[in-house]
């Protein structure tokens, strides 16, 4: 057991309302108007950008430097912590500000916490504030039964048990290292996904290798053996020029749509709900075991595309790779299941579903009442698909598979690290485990 003899019982308010430390609500609407927002400038952090210890930095609103200067007290420093003040994130989301985010602006829906460096290690505190004990207390004391809200008064009352500064730093460093590795894996996976999509677009949409060979150039980023698989000319079709020897077919001729998969009613099988469908990468991170009732069935290598609004527009698409061999999974009736026929590889279906052309076609063919529009599977008979030669199709399949395997490996490692982090956090905060013992556990899994 760890010793908590020198730990102090305190509150968040006592830690923040001292010297240069403070706890304050973001600028009110009277201070930051809708007209202040611009396309470029200083990022502003709204409630929805506050994730689990990290900001979600895509598409942040921005203001001019002069507007940010006018709200100087709300500018962010590295080590600051932002709490979501209202909405579904208000009782579990807080994020620490990184060095690269210095000078950004706290949004109107956030609460800014700043600590004295000689008393509090911000990294440690960022973990303590998302511990099960802290989140449970905040959910119990948040204002509003339907839509929970936090305010400065509630946050100031949050009880905390705080170790000496050196122990804070050791815990923060240990847990932060796990989070950093998880974040690195995420960024690597985003890069791998982008690279694979770029290759698909270059080969099968823009026909870059063929154009390069026609112009007497070597195709960029491609070895001589792979380049030799592509023709050096185009032929004319009803859909425009395509590489010589390739062919145009309707999508169902090359890709099975909603293929039959057998799953007996009442049998427990992996279930992937719409909420767990990824919006950017190929991999679904969570699924559950559930008795089959009614829904779309799938096997490894199938691609799932959400066909209902707004899930389709939001990019909910997955490549199934989480089942054991021979296993059948199932999910929403609002999925379209795609399975390429040989020589097209299973991965071809996924990257096709991620192209702008396919998504635009699907969105334009949605039907139904407002708010419940969906893509009829029959419309895919009208989608023209350019099918490459056998050798090009096989080469892409092998290449895409190598990208997906790396992404899956990184995701599995991150899941292991996240489970370890979430197990260590309450044990370290309760004194159940010593820091040195926790370090040994982490080192054993590296």
Residues 108 and 28 sit within 8 Å (Cβ to Cβ):
yes
Assign residue 79 a region (left: φ > 0; alpha: ψ between -120 and 50; beta: otherwise): left
- Taking alpha carbons only, the member of 287, 303, 281, 399 closest to residue 350 is 303
Q: Is residue 188, in this structure, part of any structural domain at all?
A: no
- pLDDT tens digits, 59-88: 899 999 999 999 999 999 999 999 988 766
Scanning 303-389, the segments in alpha helix (DSSP H) are 346-353, 356-364
Same domain as 157, residue 43:
yes
Same domain, 258 and 158: no
- Beta strand residue intervals within 310-432, DSSP E: 317-319, 329-331, 335-340, 384-387
In a domain, 308, yes or no: yes
Residue 178: inside a domain: no
32 and 151 in a common domain: yes
Among 281, 296, 425, which residue's Cα sits nearest to residue 354? Answer: 281
Cis bond before residue 343 (omega within 30° of 0): yes
Give the model's pLDDT for residue 233: 97
Q: What does the pLDDT read at residue 63?
A: 93
Note whether residue 442 is domain-resident: no
Residues 30, 159 within the same domain: yes
Domain assignment present for 136: yes
Same domain, residue pair 134 and 268: no
Residue 438 domain-assigned (yes or no): no
Q: Is residue 425 part of a domain?
A: no
Same domain, 150 and 290: no
What's the pLDDT at 92? 72
Residue ranges in the chain modelled with pLDDT below 70: 1-3, 87-90, 145-146, 444-446
Q: pLDDT (tens digit, 9 = 90+) per residue, 346-364?
A: 999 999 999 999 999 999 9
Q: How many domains does the chain have?
A: 2
Task: Give the per-residue pLDDT at 142.
Answer: 83
Give yes or no: residues 30 and 129 share one domain.
yes
Query: Which residue segment(s) compose the domain that 277 sits in?
Result: 251-387
Distance from C-alpha of 260 to C-alpha of 417, rounded to nearest angstrom: 37
Q: Is residue 428 part of a domain?
A: no
Q: pLDDT value at position 369?
A: 78
Residues forming beta bridges with residue 236, ordered by sequence position: 241
What pLDDT is stored for residue 1 in this prediction? Answer: 46
Strand partners, 329: 298
The residue among 362, 387, 412 that closes a domain is 387
- Give the residue from 103, 137, 163 where a domain finishes: 163
- β-pairing verdict for 234-237 and 37-38: unpaired
pLDDT (0 to 100) of residue 352: 98
Domain boundary at 357, 387, 417, which?
387
* 284 and 144 assigned to the same domain: no
Asked whether residue 12 falls in the same domain as residue 158, the answer is yes
Q: Residue 269: which CATH number? A: 3.90.220.20
């Amino acid at each position: 057991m760890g010793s908590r003899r020198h730990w102090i019982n305190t509150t968040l308010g006592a830690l923040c309302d001292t010297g240069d430390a403070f706890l304050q609500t973001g600028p009110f609407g009277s201070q930051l108007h809708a007209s202040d927002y611009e396309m470029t400038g200083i990022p502003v952090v709204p409630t929805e950008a506050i994730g689990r210890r990290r900001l979600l930095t895509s598409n942040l609103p921005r203001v001019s430097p002069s507007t940010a200067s006018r709200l100087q007290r709300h500018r962010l420093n590295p080590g600051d912590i932002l709490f979501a003040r209202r909405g579904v994130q208000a009782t579990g989301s807080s994020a620490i500000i990184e060095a690269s985010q210095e000078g950004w602006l706290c949004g109107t829906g956030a609460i800014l916490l700043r600590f004295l460096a000689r008393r509090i290690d911000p990294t440690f505190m960022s973990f303590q504030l998302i511990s099960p004990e802290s989140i449970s207390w905040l959910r119990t004391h948040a204002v509003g039964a339907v839509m929970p809200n936090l305010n400065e008064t509630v946050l100031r009352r949050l009880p905390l048990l705080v170790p000496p500064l050196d122990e804070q730093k050791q815990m923060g460093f240990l847990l932060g290292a796990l989070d950093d590795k998880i974040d690195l894996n995420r960024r690597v996976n985003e890069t791998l996904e982008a690279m694979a999509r770029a290759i698909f677009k270059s080969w099968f949409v823009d026909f870059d290798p063929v154009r390069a060979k026609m112009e007497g150039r070597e195709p960029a980023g491609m070895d001589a053996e792979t380049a030799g698989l592509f023709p050096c000319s185009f032929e004319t079709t009803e859909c425009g020029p395509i590489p010589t020897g390739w062919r145009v077919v309707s999508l169902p001729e090359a890709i099975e749509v909603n293929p039959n998969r057998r799953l007996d009613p009442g049998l427990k099988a992996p279930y992937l709900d719409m909420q767990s469908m990824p919006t950017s990468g190929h991999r679904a991170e969570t699924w559950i075991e559930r008795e089959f009732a009614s829904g779309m069935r799938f096997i490894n290598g199938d691609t799932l595309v959400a066909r209902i609004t707004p899930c389709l527009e939001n990019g909910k698409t997955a490549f199934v790779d989480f089942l054991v061999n021979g296993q059948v999974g199932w999910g929403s009736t609002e999925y379209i299941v795609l399975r390429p026929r040989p020589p097209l590889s299973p991965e071809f279906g996924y990257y096709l579903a991620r192209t702008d052309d396919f998504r635009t076609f699907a969105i334009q063919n949605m039907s139904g009442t407002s708010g419940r529009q969906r893509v009829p599977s029959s419309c895919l008979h009208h989608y023209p698909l350019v099918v490459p030669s056998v050798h090009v199709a096989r080469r892409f399949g092998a290449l895409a598979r190598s990208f997906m395997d790396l992404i899956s490996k990184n995701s599995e490692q991150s899941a292991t690290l996240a489970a370890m982090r979430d197990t260590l956090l309450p044990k370290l905060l309760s004194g159940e485990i010593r820091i040195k013992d926790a370090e040994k556990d982490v080192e054993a899994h590296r």
